[in-house]
Structure 1
């Protein structure tokens, strides 16, 4: 029984690897693939998820609208005399938010400019989750501008990042 279960697990792993390869090949055929892959924190699978969540065509979005769809733009929760209360919107695309948060978490480790931004937010008193959300929003704005201008990511020197 153990050998049969092990063989099934190996067959599943092979099927998953084959599916990942198909997704990567299909993603690399998209017109924005190289631009998305140039940004630290995005690989072929996260890039494919990003394109799937946005429909592959970003001409229908402006940066703020895309952030609102992703759940990264705060919505007002004012009542009476209270103003300035902000919260996550009730409706947002959880798949898109997941992609952006995963890429932000990855970029903290591998991108010096993102690490500096995250550390600055943490030093300012924000919690980890808030700092990651702020980084994801900033990266979304950069990614949107890269796709709009059709330019690849260019890393800034760590001293100039901020």
Structure 2
């Protein structure tokens, strides 16, 4: 493991389902670049990896709306602040860098580089209450997911005992049809 640097810049191209983060050092060299699912555990893992790279991380994002709310709340909860780099600025700055393809990885790099070169961006202020509310909502969502998994596992167990061939035919993970069918017809004779 190499010695942590004094300072790095992390640019995040935010999205609904995932974000892309790129980290550059003082020379503009890419130290870290990855796709991050818009999920608390994935964001926390990436946050830990990026914070291990340097003593000080300067964060920059291109969206400060709902799609980046969880990301910004987690940054705030860990004592990190981000600046807002407008999409128009990212678009204009991308012309200064090699390559023509517009990708999430390239946009994240351009955001990090723009934040490294310019110091006039607005700091995003995340209220402590927002961070607390998002933590509560994500904990509730985790509970709901765990309840659904338990319910499906119990249903599969019962169905295996009553009608094993039908249980093997159902795909509970991506289709609701199996659950709807079983709510209307609860016995093998009724299903037949």
The bucket for the TM-score relative to the shorter chain is under 0.3
Q: What is the TM-score when the length of structure 2 is the normalising length?
A: 0.23
Q: Which structure has greater helix proportion?
A: 1
User: Which is higher, the Rg of structure 1 or of structure 2?
Assistant: 2
Larger RCO (alpha carbons 8 Å, 6+ apart): 1
